[in-house]
Amino acid sequence: MVQSFLAFLNQISATYQLRFILPVAAMIIVAAYYLLNRDSVKEWLGEKRLLFLRGFLLAPLFILAMLSVENYRYTDYYRYDSYLNAYEFYHYYIGTKYAPEVGYSEMYMASLVADSETGMKWKHKSGTITDLAVGKKVSTKKVLADADLYKSRFTPERWEEFKKDIVWFKDRLVTARWGGVLRDKGYNGTPVWTMLVGGLLSNRISTDNDKGMMFLALLDPLLILLTFLLVVWAFGPRTAFLMLVLLGTNYMMKYWHMKGAYLRTDWVMCMVMTVCFLRKKHYALAGAFTGYAVISRIFPAVLLFGIGARFFWLILDYCLMLLRKGYETLKVKKPRKDQQLTVKATIILFMVLLVWGSYAFITAVALPWMGSPERSIRGFFDQLVSGAGGHSPFLQLFTFLSWTLLSVLGALATLRGLWRKEIDRRYFYFFVSFTLVVAVLLGASLLYWKGTDYWAQYSAKIARHNTDISTWRVGFKYIFMADFGADFSFLEKSFTDWQPVVRSAWYMEKHLEWWRIQFLILALTLVACRAVKDYRAYILGFVPLFFLVSPTYYYYIMLLVPFLFFAPRIDHGRYALGLGLMYITGMAGFGFYTLWKQNYATYYWLSALVMAMTLYMLFLAMLETSTALMARKRQLALAGVPSGCEEEAESVISESSDKEPAEPTITEEPLRIVPGLEPKPEIEAEAEPEAEAETEAEADTSNPDTSPSSEPQDDSSDDIPLAPPAE
């Protein structure tokens, strides 16, 4: 029966264009959920029918998810009569197993020499392969003339094993594919990833072991399955099924690179798992998984900006409370009026100079330095005292020293608050766990590689990789460098002709404009994270990631992270629209490929669609933050908190009882600085639309510092209304 069912699924995949049918069907179901959340529909159906229909919709959604899995499995998996993607597998198996011998620069040369000794199969009309040390092509005749040099890196036993492995891979690649392998861009895993994967897997499972090699090829599907189960646990089956539809049909997550490969998805699955752990308030686990993702691929570190922004606002609230307490203490001593005026005037003058100086510092020092080729420390201080932009060097020094002093004082205040448990420690646990994982793995890699040489090779390789211009990459950078021409008219040209060209020189020529945009995006993201939930703040780290980093398109399997911003709230139209945009982007990629193949236009327009989704997500986060702040202000007003006491009121949670007192009171000890107040019954947010999702109010009972008395109680809703609730 199982075989018959699989054959049936295989027939469907072969007959129908599931990459278009499934996302459209998913959007129809999303629209149905939205309609069921309308007040008029709720009133017309009644509670029982409404619950039945919401549950019933899971059935077709489950079918779509299973068909998406089949589409993911079937589509182009076996075009070379094998599930295993030998092209991708070669780079990550050989790159990890033989890293001590070939490093990051000699893998192709050694492979060509091994090929020549086992019956030359490599063939290409250019007669060249890629010299990974410089990123340019080199004649195969020159490489073969230096064969003894590359063989000298191996012991005789390792060289024989290397030749055997090369034979195994070239036997599984047609001549054209084997010719293309050695002209690619090499292996890019970090030294830590190489240590872990090479030491634990590649060097232990030989190419002689067919079952073992298949096990390595199945690691990515197993990780995806584990991630799916975690999404079910954290967000419910509805969100998990929708995720499978996106993964199984999106152009940028398709078969050419990620499927049948060797652990190409571990980093992104760790990022998705982090979101799940944050939603369930397991901050230490979240930090650890983010640490692995960062040490495996480096660029996911940008995601830390979101959760870091939440910690920043928490610290800022605490520092403002301390300042207000100090000011109130000063008022109790009743200084003379002239002393009060002097203090106020000094503060106002300092703030004016700091704001003015900050603008001058960013425009005349920070932006030019960020855009310079070297970005050395000496270059920074030379720029600081240069008087650039017509601003006084004394003003720049005042600004720099003021912010340095404020940062030191803020750090000391943070340590005080954490030590005295006046600051919620959950972000502290996240970053400590993250730091420990990175430090331990980094230290282990230095011991494993016996120094920093292998890291130096990796840094040089990635630096060169980042300066290359590849039209297969997706990100704001490739929108920034696009040129349609001065006389181009979108209205007069057919869509097929909407093909820009890359002006790589613009990236350096317009570096000030580039960094202005980056600072603006960082500032907007910082503000957007002010009052959103922690897992959503982490997801918002994708916004600066898109603008700062431009990886090759298949790395955008990481769209599964912003997916979790929209999918849990599809009962509300604004989030359903965002999820629909993600599905449309996935389908559009296939259309662009049909028009332009893998040319720049395909990835320019994919970048444009992803940017639209990213900015829309930022806009929704701004709405969430503004709504939460207005609701908090309204709550304080209903509680009768006098003006000027808001910070103290928001920071006080009694340890003696979880019950609210009859009359709101403000006590001095113990203090708890938390992102928000526990909602009162009369202004609670709507109930979670996804019935299966667990309440977020459950604290991590294993952590004494995240008990209900020390941590803000998220309401069970994942839906924040756009306006303050009525009295």
User: How do residues 283-328 score in pLDDT, each as one tens digit?
Assistant: 999 999 999 999 999 999 999 999 999 999 999 999 999 988 887 7
pLDDT at residue 25, rounded to an integer: 96
> Residue 218 in contact with residue 472, Cβ under 8 Å?
no
Question: What percent of the chain lies above the pLDDT cut of 90?
Answer: 59
pLDDT at residue 3, rounded to an integer: 57
Q: Quote the CA–CA distance of 283 and 289 in Å, as a whole number.
A: 10
371-396, pLDDT tens digit by residue? 777 778 888 888 888 887 778 888 88
Supply the mean pLDDT for the chain.
84
550-568, pLDDT tens digit by residue? 999 999 999 999 999 999 9
pLDDT class of 648 with cuts at 50, 70, 90: low
Region 619-641: mean pLDDT is: 86
pLDDT class of 192 with cuts at 50, 70, 90: very high
Task: Look at residue 691 and tell me whether its pLDDT is greater than 60.
Answer: no
Q: Say whether 653 sits in a helix, a strand or coil.
A: coil
> Residue 461 in contact with residue 105, Cβ under 8 Å?
yes
> Residue 256 in contact with residue 87, Cβ under 8 Å?
no
pLDDT class of 686 with cuts at 50, 70, 90: very low
Q: How many Cβ atoms from other residues are within 10 Å of residue 459's Cβ?
A: 14
Lowest mean pLDDT among 146-155, 169-178, 245-254, 688-697: 688-697
Q: Quote the CA–CA distance of 336 and 323 in Å, as a whole number.
A: 20
pLDDT at residue 640, rounded to an integer: 67
Distance (Å) of CA 678 to CA 241, 626, 652: 32, 17, 11
For 131, the enclosing helix (H) or strand (E) is strand 128-131
Region 431-439: mean pLDDT is: 97
Task: Look at residue 701 and tell me whether its pLDDT is greater than 70.
Answer: no
* Amino acid (one-letter) located at 689: P
Region 628-654: mean pLDDT is: 66
Q: What are the φ and ψ backbone dihedral angles of 386, each rounded to 5 degrees?
A: -80, -15
> Residue 190 in contact with residue 296, Cβ under 8 Å?
yes
Three-class SS of 201-246:
HHCCCCCCCHHHHHHHHCHHHHHHHHHHHHHHHHHCHHHHHHHHHH
Q: Quote the CA–CA distance of 219 and 620 in Å, as a whole number.
A: 36
pLDDT at residue 116, rounded to an integer: 94
* Amino acid (one-letter) located at 187: Y
For 512, residues 6+ apart whose C-beta sits below 8 A from its C-beta are 367, 368, 371
pLDDT at residue 687, rounded to an integer: 37
pLDDT class of 8 with cuts at 50, 70, 90: low
Q: Which residues of 514-545 are buried (b: 16+ CB within 10 A; e: fewer)?
A: bbeebeebbebbbbbbbbbbbbbbbbbbbbbb
pLDDT class of 11 with cuts at 50, 70, 90: low
Q: Where are the beta strands (DSSP E) in 10-81?
A: none
Long-range residue pairs from 177-182, CB within 8 A, at least 24 positions apart, any chain: 177/80, 177/86, 177/87, 178/121, 178/122, 179/122, 179/123, 179/124, 180/87, 180/124, 181/87, 181/90, 181/91, 181/111, 182/108, 182/111, 182/112, 182/122, 182/129, 182/130
Task: Look at residue 211 and tell me whether its pLDDT is greater than 60.
Answer: yes
Q: Quote the CA–CA distance of 320 and 313 in Å, as a whole number.
A: 10
pTM for this entry: 0.86
248-287, pLDDT tens digit by residue? 999 998 766 677 889 999 999 999 999 999 999 999 999 9
Q: Where are the beta strands (DSSP E) in 588-717?
A: none
Region 390-408: mean pLDDT is: 88
Lowest mean pLDDT among 14-18, 477-481, 494-498, 661-665: 661-665
> Residue 154 in contact with residue 101, Cβ under 8 Å?
yes
User: Per the structure block, which two tokens stand in for 621?
Assistant: 């986060």
> Residue 94 in contact with residue 158, Cβ under 8 Å?
no
Q: Quote the CA–CA distance of 147 and 141 in Å, as a whole number.
A: 10
Q: Quote the CA–CA distance of 541 and 434 in Å, as a whole number.
A: 16
Lowest mean pLDDT among 74-83, 451-460, 613-622: 74-83
Long-range residue pairs from 3-11, CB within 8 A, at least 24 positions apart, any chain: 9/66, 9/67, 9/70, 9/74, 10/70, 10/74
